Structure 1
Amino acid sequence: MGFVQVAITLLIIMLLVKPVGTYLVKVFDYEKSGLDRFFGPFERMAYRIMGVREGESMGWKQYLGAVLLSNFVMLILMYLVLRLQKYLPMNPDGINNMPAAQAFNTAVSFITNTNWQSYSGENALSYLSQLLAITFPMFTSAATGFAVAIAFIRGLVGRQDNLGNFYVDLVRSITRIFLPLSFIVALFLVFQGVPQTLQGAVTATTLEGAQQTITRGLVASLESIKHVGTNGGGWFGTNAAHPFENPTPLTNLVHIVCMMLLPTALVYAFGLMIKNKKQGWAVFAAMGLIFLVMLTTILVSEYRGVSALDTMGVNGNMEGKEVRFGLSQSALFTAATTAATTGTVNNMHESLTPIGGFVALAEMMLNNVFGGKGVGLLNGLLYLILSIFICGLMVGRTPEFLGKKIEGKEVKLASIALLVHPLIILAPTALALTRPDAIASISNAGMHGLSEVLYAFASGAANNGSAFAGLNANTNFYNIGIGLVMLLGRYISMIAMLAIAGSLATKRVVPVTTGTLRTNTPLFTGILIMIILVIGALTFFPALALGPIAEHLAMSR
C-alpha cells in the first residue's frame, strides 16, 4: 500500500501541472483578464503605497537593483524584530530577545527562502516574530524567486532589455498565487486539527499525573505558506513530524502536493511563455527522471535497511520515522522536500540509511530537480545553456537557444553561478572540520559526523533549510558561516541569471538552419541529464565518498 500511496501522490501532482502552469502564465503576461476584477483593486492600492508605476518596465540592472534593495530593507527589519521581540507586543509566553548571531542567521534564512532554523520555534520566537520575521518573508522570498524566474524567461524571448517590473511581479505573485493558495490550504489544515490561535501555551495534566506545557499558536497559516512557497522551517522544532503541524495522512498528502505544485507547474509555464511546449516538456522530463531515480533509490534503501539491521531481525529502517506515515510517505517526503528545496521534514534525516542521506544530499547539491520557487528552473536552465555550448563545440553546430546565440559572456556567467554552488558547500565544510569549536558541535564521530557538517552547508547553499539534526548549529561559527552561505547561494545565481537575461534579450534572433542544435528532443534531454549528473559527480563525489557512501560500505560488511 505504501507504493500505491506514492503513485497516487505523484499522479495528483502531474494532473495539476498543466492547469496551474497555464494559470501562472495568465498571472505574469500583464494582459487584461478576468482576474483583474478581483485582484486589481488590492494591487493598485499596494502600488500606490509603494510608489510604483505599474506600467513602468525595467532593464536587467534596474530589475536586479530592485530585488537587492527590497530584500536588504526587509532583512534589516526582520533582524530588528528578532533582536527586540522581548519589548514588542504579542509575546504571551515572555520569550527573550534572540542573540545577535542567531538573529542574523534567522533573518538571512527567511529572506533567502532557506528557512534554516538554529532555534526551536516554540521556545525562541514570540507570535509577532513568527508573523513579521518568519511568515511574512515566506511570502516575499517565494515571490522574489518567482519574479526572477519570470524575468529570465522574458529575457529569453524578448527583443530588448525589458524584463518587466519587479515590484509588479512581486505583488502579483503574492496576491494572485501565494495568498489565495495559502488561505485555502490553511483552512483545510485547521479542519484537520492544526492550531490557529493567538492564545499562549496551556498546561495539561497527563494520565500519569505529570504537568505538561502544550505550545499553540498561528500554526496553520505558517504551515500553508511554508509548503506552498517551498519555504520550510516550522512553528515547532520537530517540524512536520509534530502532530500539531502534520496531524493526519491527509495533511501529509497536502504538504507534499503543495511543495511540488508550483515548482513543477513553473516548468510547464516556461514552455508556454517561450511558445515552445516541447522545450518545456524536455526540461520537465530531465528534472522528472532525476527525481524518480532519487525517489526510487531512497525507497529501496529505507525498505531494505542495512546489514546491521538485518542481523537484528529488523525489516526496513523505521528509525526516526513517524509511525503515522510509515516508510513510503517518509521517503517520498524526504525526496520531495530536498528536490523542491523546501526543507520541511516529517522524519529525521539524521536517521536515514546512509544511501537515504546520500539522496537528500545529492538533490541539494544538484539544486535543479524542480527546486524551489524559480530556483530549480533557473539552475536547470543554467545547465541547459552549458549543455548547448558543450554540444555545439563537440558536434560543430551553432550553440543557439530559442534562436539566440550562446556566446562567451553567457557561458562565463553560467559557469560562475554553477561553480559558486560547490565552492560555498565544500570550502566551509573543510573549514569547519579544522576548527575545534565547530567539531565540538558534531554529535557523531567519523563518517556520519562529516555528513552532518556537509549536509548543513549543502542545505544553506541550496536554500533548502532541512538539517541532519545531529549538528548543534547554534554557535557563532555556524550561525554566521551558514548565514553567509545562504546569502551567496541565493543572490549570486540571481545576479548571473538576470545578467544573462539582459544579454540574451538584446540579441538578434537568427533563423533555424540545418546547423542549429535542437534542444527540445528526447536525445537532448538525455544529454542534459548526463551533463547534470557528470558535473555533479565530478564536483561532489569525493566528499560524498568520505561521508554517506563510506558509511554505507562500512554498515554493509
Structure 2
Amino acid sequence: MSPVFAGVLQFLALFAALALAYRPLGDYMARVYSSDKHLRVEKWIYKAIGANPSTEMRWPAYLRGVLAFSAVSVLFLYLMQRLQGSLPGSLGFVSIPADQAFNTAASFVANTNWQSYSGEQAMGHVVQTGGLAVQNFVSAAVGIAVAVALVRGFARSRTGELGNFWSDLVRGTVRILLPISVIGAIVLVACGAIQNFSGIHEVGQFMGGSQQWNGGAVASQEAIKELGTNGGGYFNANSAHPFENPNPLSNLFEVFLILVIPFALTRTFGRMVGSVKQGYAILATMVVIWVGFTALMMWTEFAHHGPAFDVAGGAMEGKETRFGIGASSIFSVATTLTSTGAVNSFHSSFTGFGGGIQLLGMQLGEIAPGGTGSGLYGMLIMAIIAVFIAGLMVGRTPEYLGKKVGTREIKFAACYILVTPA
C-alpha cells in the first residue's frame, strides 16, 4: 500500500468515526447542560465547595466564578510544583523554580499547556497526576462552561440568567470528560501506552550503554490531554514518544479525541437553541476549513522535490517512521486548528508551505474547530459579526437566532477579535 493511499484511508476512517460520534455525543452534552437533576457525587462536590447548583447567575456572577476558580487553580498548581521536593512520589526531583512554576501553572490553567520543561526529567508522579492532569480536566470544563453560558444567552429571552458556573463546571468534568477519558485511557493502554507508578530505572540502548527512564500514569493523562485539547505531554517528546503514542492506531485515536468534542458541540448548540440547522451551519464551516487544511498539508508533505524526497516518499524529516507522512499531517492540522499543544512530529521540520499551513491553523485555532468550548464561542462571535455586516449591506436590522445585534453586541464582538490576536 502506498503511503499516500494509507494516509487517505486514515483520514477517511477518522472522518467516519467523528461522523458517527457527532449526534450521540452532541445530544448527550445538550442533555447534561439542560438537566435539573444532580448526581449524588455532584452533590458531594457542591457541598464540599459550598456552592448552590440551583442558583442562576447573571453574566457578572458567572464571570466572577470563572476568574475566581482560575485564580485558585493557578495558586494550587504553583504551590504543588514549588513543594514537589517535599511531596511523596517526587522520584527524587527537586522543586520547580518559581518563574517556571508560575509559567507552567498559568499555562495549564489557561488550557495553553505551553511547556518549558522536560516532563520525565522534572516532574514526579504527584505533580503530573495530581496537578497537571487535574488541570487538564477542569480547564477544559471551564472552556465548555463558558461556551454553554453563551449558548444559553442565545436560547433564553426576557432574562439575563446564564445558568450556574459551578454546576456547569462539575457536570462537564463528571459526566463528560471523566467517563470518556476512562474509556480513552483503556484504549491507549490496549494500544501499548504505559500506565504505572514505577520509579526511575536503567534501560539498555540498542547501540550499547544505558539510559534512565521513569514510568507514570501516562495513558490516563494522555486521554484527557487530547480530549480537552490541552496538549501538555508527560514526556518531552509529547505524542511523538512511544510511551504516549505507540503506533498508528493510537495516533488515529488521539486525533479523534482532539476533534470529537469541538465538532460535537455544534450539535449541542443546535439542540439548546432549538435550531439544529444552525448547528449544522457552524459545523459545515468548521469541516470545510479542517478538510481543506488537511488536504493541503498532505499534498505538500507528500510532494517530491528532489532525490531525497523521492527515496523517502515525501518530506520525512522530523516525522516518526511508525506514523509516516499521512498520519503526521493529519495530527499536525488537528492540533494546530484546535489550539492543542500535542505533537507527534516536529513542526519546524515540515516543508515551507506545510509550516505556513500550521501557522495559519494556529491563527484560526479558536474557530476551526477550535478547542473544547473556545471553538464554539469563537465561531459564534464570527457569526454575529457576519450577520451584522450582512444586515448593513441589505439595510435591515441584523438579527441572529431572534436576537437583535446592536451597537453594544458589536462592541463586545470587536473587543474579542481585537484582544485575541493581541
Fold-level similarity (TM above 0.5)? yes
The one of 106, 119, 123 equivalent to 2:104 is: 106
Residues 85 and 97 in structure 1, CA contact (< 8 A), matched pair in contact too: yes
Change over 3 Å in CA distance of 1:308–1:411 after alignment to 2: farther
Residues 204 and 211 in structure 2, CA contact (< 8 A), matched pair in contact too: yes
Residues 328 and 345 in structure 2, CA contact (< 8 A), matched pair in contact too: yes
Helix, strand or coil: the match of 1:213? Answer: strand
The one of 323, 329, 338 equivalent to 2:327 is: 329
Helix, strand or coil: the match of 2:30? Answer: helix
Please tell me whether residue 375 in structure 1 is matched to residue 374 in structure 2.
yes
Matches of 2:206 and 2:54, distance apart in 1: 64
Please tell me whether residue 420 in structure 1 is matched to residue 389 in structure 2.
no
Q: CA deviation at 1:186?
A: 0.9
Amino acid at match of 1:414: A
Amino acid at match of 1:373: T
Q: CA deviation at 1:279?
A: 0.9
Matches of 2:52 and 2:215, distance apart in 1: 42
What's the counterpart of residue 256 of structure 1? 255
Count matched residues.
415
Q: Which runs of 5+ in 1 are unaligned?
A: 424-557
Matches of 1:402 and 1:109, distance apart in 2: 35
Q: CA deviation at 1:393?
A: 0.8
1:10-49 aligned within 5 A: 10-32=15-37, 40-49=39-48
Helix, strand or coil: the match of 2:421? Answer: helix
Q: Which runs of 5+ in 2 are unaligned?
A: 1-5
Q: CA deviation at 1:209?
A: 4.1
**Could you tell me the TM-score, scaled by structure 1's length?**
0.73
What's the counterpart of residue 154 of structure 1? 152
Matches of 1:153 and 1:189, distance apart in 2: 33
Amino acid at match of 2:376: L
Change over 3 Å in CA distance of 1:207–1:419 after alignment to 2: closer
Matches of 1:266 and 1:16, distance apart in 2: 11
Please tell me whether residue 221 in structure 1 is matched to residue 226 in structure 2.
no
Amino acid at match of 2:358: A
Matches of 1:54 and 1:100, distance apart in 2: 36
Q: CA deviation at 1:231?
A: 0.8
Please tell me whether residue 365 in structure 1 is matched to residue 363 in structure 2.
yes
What's the counterpart of residue 52 of structure 1? 51
Which segment is superposed worse, 365-374 or 58-67?
365-374
Matches of 2:377 and 2:305, distance apart in 1: 37
Residues 263 and 372 in structure 1, CA contact (< 8 A), matched pair in contact too: yes
What's the counterpart of residue 470 of structure 1? none
What's the counterpart of residue 172 of structure 2? 173
What's the counterpart of residue 162 of structure 2? 163
Q: CA deviation at 1:422?
A: 2.1
Residues 286 and 369 in structure 2, CA contact (< 8 A), matched pair in contact too: yes
Q: Deviations over 1:473-496 (max 9, x none)?
A: xxxxxxxxxxxxxxxxxxxxxxxx
Q: Deviations over 1:515-545 (max 9, x none)?
A: xxxxxxxxxxxxxxxxxxxxxxxxxxxxxxx
By relative contact order (CA 8 Å, sep 6+), the higher-ranking structure is 1
1:164-313 aligned within 5 A: 164-306=163-305
Matches of 1:305 and 1:351, distance apart in 2: 15
Amino acid at match of 1:67: V
Matches of 1:208 and 1:383, distance apart in 2: 55
What's the counterpart of residue 134 of structure 1? 132
Q: CA deviation at 1:128?
A: 1.2
Q: Deviations over 1:403-429 (max 9, x none)?
A: 111001110111111012222xxxxxx
What's the counterpart of residue 84 of structure 1? 83
Matches of 2:225 and 2:348, distance apart in 1: 22
Which segment is superposed worse, 96-105 or 276-285?
96-105
1:447-462 aligned within 5 A: none
Q: CA deviation at 1:99?
A: 1.5
Q: Deviations over 1:339-385 (max 9, x none)?
A: 12222111111111111111111122123101111101111111111
What's the counterpart of residue 96 of structure 1? 94
What's the counterpart of residue 341 of structure 1? 339
Q: Deviations over 1:89-126 (max 9, x none)?
A: 2112x111112221111001100111111111111111
What's the counterpart of residue 4 of structure 1? 9
Helix, strand or coil: the match of 1:202? Answer: strand
Q: CA deviation at 1:31?
A: 3.7
What's the counterpart of residue 398 of structure 1? 397
- What root-mean-square deviation, in Å, do the aligned CA atoms of Structure 1 and Structure 2 show? 1.5
Change over 3 Å in CA distance of 1:24–1:91 after alignment to 2: same
Helix, strand or coil: the match of 2:83? Answer: helix
Matches of 1:68 and 1:306, distance apart in 2: 50
Task: Give the percent of matched residue pairs that are identical in Structure 1 and Structure 2.
Answer: 42
Residues 110 and 133 in structure 1, CA contact (< 8 A), matched pair in contact too: no
Which segment is superposed worse, 335-344 or 144-153?
335-344
